[in-house]
Amino acid sequence: MAAIGMCGTFDVENYGDLLFPLIAAHELRQRLPTPDLQKFSYFSKRAAQWPFDVVSLTEFAATVENLDGLIVGGGHIIRFDQDVAPGYLPPNNDLHHPSSLWLIPMLLALEQGLPVVWNAPAVYGDIPAWAAPLLTAALIGSKYIAVRDAASRQALMPFARDAEINIVPDTVFGIANLRDENISRECAALRQDIGLHKPYLVVQATVGLDAIARVLKKHAATFADYQVLLLPIGPVLGDAEKNIAHDFPTALRLPQWPNPLLLAELIGGAEAAIGISLHLAITALAYGVPVFRPQQSAHGKYGLLADFDTIHLFDNSSEISPQWLQQKLGKTALSVAVQKANAELKEHWDKVAAALNSSITRRVPACIRELWQKLPKAMETDFVFENKLSQAQNTIGHLRIEVADLRSSLSWRVTAPLRALAKFIQRLRNQRSTPTITAPHQTKSVAAIDIAAAGGIMQFEAIETCELRSEPYGWAAVEDLYSAQNAAALADTFPRDHYKAVKGYDGEKDYGYEARELVAMGSKAISHAADLSVAWQRLAADLLSPRYRAALSRLSGIDLSNLQMEANAFHYGPGAWLGPHLDLRDKIVTHVLYFNPSWNIADGGCLQILRSSSMRDAAHVVAPIVGSSALLVRSDKSWHAVSRVDPRCTESRRSVTVTFYRDHSVSTMWPPGDATPTHDYI
């Protein structure tokens, strides 16, 4: 019996990730005598509670000598960024994240002289310079390399030397080989239990499918012969029936998330598959089921679907013709493109089996010996740097304690105006050598600074004369919101009190930052006003003014005069971010104001106006410079994000978000009963 290891993210509730080892096991059984496929991921699982056993990668180094080969992938696993899945990290600090999912096992297998195979994974993100020799060793030492798209091949080629890199379809195209055409007893029983008796449409339990919901609801009689089944495809990525239950009130639900083969059977038995998931679409194609996807999700990895004529794109912000939808429902014979994919995958699995069946040398390849030769120098360099970093962190720790003590003293508040002036002059003297964006008018004289002047601080004309842009959706960049003197005062006295740390994943985006309430939802009062500078009290009063609402109403084209409003201040410190997302439906218009006196655009922290849900698909970038702001009109296309602040950045990215809500909305930042303790931001 051949013991074959397979590495990937097989320990998360994500449909596609769980299919890869099931398909691999099936295909290898057709080609190798009694293969024993052992799955490795960060966390161990047992078949009693999971589709199969999974061994923790913490045991891989001790287990690899007992293996006869290694498979890596598929999926978006060839990567070096930290954001594999929300909150998904190794079980201990001994495993480097995320290379321990794929690269380190490859190198350990090569050291044992084992054949290594790339099972059509994809490359995601940039490849850092430090990883280049490791990646080269993995590539030139592998027996067979296949990736699932041309972009991945192109990303790997600079490191491959003479290694051949093949392009093959995603292996999930072979899912239909695992089941015959008859409905399994398990599937039949499930359909009986949930009342699924008619032809049905599968709808992914995710956001962004409003147009489908509208046409099914508006033309219910036209689609009366169909039932709707909500399916969470990737619970780890936020799929849940609650996301769209209000849009599909009569839809059927599953009592629990099923095993991936049952999920595949439900998709394969549908008259249509509607959603965003790549592997939902591929499974449907493999069974001849038509796929309906929002055209906003046609970029990036979804480019794999471009050549299939039963993929139907719709504009989620427009009305769908019921005749168009009805005509395209129903299973068909497999397309030529799907048949071609299956033929290519048959050849792929033949090559995988041949590579794994090759002799095991138990000799360390030359590429690994080269790494051992370079390792002492790399470790020495890292050790020296780590010592320097540790010393710097100790110094920073002591300074933070001293700063906290200083800020609590009376003298700190008394001398605040002098410090603000001194800091402003120092910035003028010491402009950074790297490319920076500077606040408008910042280089003008500061002699006339008077933050105690009566009246408002905002130059409303900047909003009143601005025009809304239409690409890629309704938004506006509003500049010169304050005079030079007031801009400096606001930047220098940005609030540092009453913050709470906010970090997590809400089903669509991941995020991490610090937030402070400036105006509570629906309130007419300034929150914690006594702790604000005069300049900030004036700004908060402006945000509560009728003129501000009128100016934003004109700019957005939406009457905001009677809507609930809240305003929050944010510090995005080193490493903070806000992933790509659409604002909640309750949010009508959002105005984001910025307060950094200067900002190096290479440090991240910039608002990304996106064409799609991909961070790489930015149409515009807005730097967080005081006096600048961005207005966003919520729609089904209004994707945006904040790029991650460089962990080495010495300044926080500072902003205020003003949001106008539908009636009866509840604040998600400060929900009723929120008892999260607050603190000063240092």
DSSP string, 107-165: HHHHHTT--EEEESEEEES---GGGHHHHHHHHHH-SEEEESSHHHHHHHGGG-TT---
> How confident is the model at residue 205, as a pLDDT?
93
pLDDT digits (tens, 9 = 90+) for 522-557: 999 999 999 999 999 999 999 999 999 999 999 999
The number of beta carbons lying within 10 Å of the beta carbon of residue 614 is 18
> How confident is the model at residue 448, as a pLDDT?
33
Main-chain phi, psi angles of 488, to 5 degrees: -65, -40
What is d(CA 186, CA 194) in angstroms, rounded to the nearest whole number?
13
What is d(CA 2, CA 66) in angstroms, rounded to the nearest whole number?
10
- CATH number of this structure's domain 197-220+227-321: 3.40.50.2000
Identity at 379, one-letter amino acid code: M
CATH architecture of 3-119+121-167+344-364: 3-Layer(aba) Sandwich (3.40)
Give residue 675's pLDDT band: very low, low, confident or very high (50, 70, 90).
confident
What is d(CA 292, CA 422) in angstroms, rounded to the nearest whole number?
60
Main-chain phi, psi angles of 373, to 5 degrees: -65, -35
What is d(CA 71, CA 16) in angstroms, rounded to the nearest whole number?
16
What is d(CA 543, CA 548) in angstroms, rounded to the nearest whole number?
6
Is the model's pLDDT at 480 over the cut of 70? yes
Is the model's pLDDT at 298 over the cut of 70? no
> How confident is the model at residue 666, as a pLDDT?
87
Q: What is the mean predicted confidence (pLDDT) over 255-261? A: 94
Radius of gyration of the chain (CA): 28
What is d(CA 593, CA 487) in angstroms, rounded to the nearest whole number?
12
> How confident is the model at residue 442, as a pLDDT?
40
Report which of 660, 609, 662 is spatially closest to residue 638, judged by C-alpha positions. 609
Top mean pLDDT of 95-104, 175-184, 384-393 is at 95-104
DSSP SS3 for 185: helix
Identity at 595, one-letter amino acid code: F
What is d(CA 93, CA 286) in angstroms, rounded to the nearest whole number?
40
Identity at 111, one-letter amino acid code: E
Asked if 677 contacts 499 with a C-beta cutoff of 8 angstroms, the reply is no
| Mean confidence (pLDDT) of the chain | 86
Query: With DSSP H G I counted as helix, E B as strand and the rest as coil, what are the percentages for the chain, rounded to 5?
Result: 35, 20, 45
> How confident is the model at residue 82, as a pLDDT?
80
CATH 2.60.120.620 range(s) for the chain read 459-487+495-520+561-661
> How confident is the model at residue 438, as a pLDDT?
42
The number of beta carbons lying within 10 Å of the beta carbon of residue 449 is 20
Strands 272-274 and 200-204: parallel
Let me know the angle formed at the C-alpha of 622 by 617 and 627, rounded to the nearest 5 degrees. Answer: 170
> How confident is the model at residue 509, as a pLDDT?
46
What is d(CA 475, CA 468) in angstroms, rounded to the nearest whole number?
6
> How many Cα atoms occupy the beta-carbon half-sphere of 196 within 13 Å?
23
> How confident is the model at residue 446, as a pLDDT?
31
pLDDT digits (tens, 9 = 90+) for 568-593: 999 998 888 888 899 988 999 999 99
End-to-end, the C-alpha distance of the chain in Å comes to 60
Q: Return the exposure string of 102-134: e unless at least 16 CB atoms fall within 10 Å of the residue's CB, then b.
A: bbbbbbbbbbbebbbbbbbbbbbeebeeeeebb
Under 8 Å CB-to-CB from 118, ≥6 apart: which residues?
A: 72, 73, 142, 144, 145, 146, 147
Residue 543: which H helix or E strand, with range?
Answer: helix 534-543
What is d(CA 635, CA 582) in angstroms, rounded to the nearest whole number?
8
Tokens 């004529």 locate to 309
Asked if 210 contacts 636 with a C-beta cutoff of 8 angstroms, the reply is yes
Asked if 202 contacts 195 with a C-beta cutoff of 8 angstroms, the reply is no
What is d(CA 263, CA 13) in angstroms, rounded to the nearest whole number?
12
Give the C-alpha distances (Å, rounded to integers) separating 40 from 91, 95, 253, 466, 562.
Answer: 13, 13, 32, 55, 56
Using CB atoms within 10 A of its CB, is residue 340 exposed (0-12), middle (13-18) or buried (19+)?
Answer: middle
Q: What is the mean predicted confidence (pLDDT) over 451-472? A: 83
Asked if 257 contacts 284 with a C-beta cutoff of 8 angstroms, the reply is no
- Of the two residues 426 and 459, the one the predictor is more confident about is 459
Give the C-alpha distances (Å, rounded to integers) separating 539 from 199, 348, 409, 522, 632.
Answer: 58, 63, 26, 17, 20
Tokens 């999260």 locate to 676
> How confident is the model at residue 244, as a pLDDT?
87
The number of beta carbons lying within 10 Å of the beta carbon of residue 621 is 11
> How confident is the model at residue 603, as a pLDDT?
85
pLDDT digits (tens, 9 = 90+) for 227-238: 999 999 999 888
Q: Per this entry, what is the length of the chain?
A: 682
Strands 291-294 and 311-314: parallel
Q: Classify the C-alpha dihedral 642-646-647-648 as positive or negative.
A: negative
CATH 3.40.50.2000 range(s) for the chain read 197-220+227-321
What is d(CA 257, CA 259) in angstroms, rounded to the nearest whole number?
7
Is the model's pLDDT at 421 over the cut of 80? no
Is the model's pLDDT at 393 over the cut of 70? no
Q: What is the mean predicted confidence (pLDDT) over 178-186? A: 87
The number of beta carbons lying within 10 Å of the beta carbon of residue 643 is 20
In the chain, pLDDT over 90 holds for what percent of residues?
Answer: 64
Asked if 105 contacts 126 with a C-beta cutoff of 8 angstroms, the reply is no
Is the model's pLDDT at 314 over the cut of 70? yes
What is d(CA 77, CA 295) in angstroms, rounded to the nearest whole number?
25
Report which of 568, 564, 547 is spatially closest to residue 666, judged by C-alpha positions. 564
DSSP category for residue 432: -
Q: What is the mean predicted confidence (pLDDT) over 205-224? A: 93
Report which of 575, 566, 618, 622 is spatially closest to residue 594, judged by C-alpha positions. 622
- CATH number of this structure's domain 459-487+495-520+561-661: 2.60.120.620
> How confident is the model at residue 387, as a pLDDT?
59
Kindly write down the DSSP assignment for every residue of 440-454, as one continuous string. Answer: TTTTS--TT--TT-S
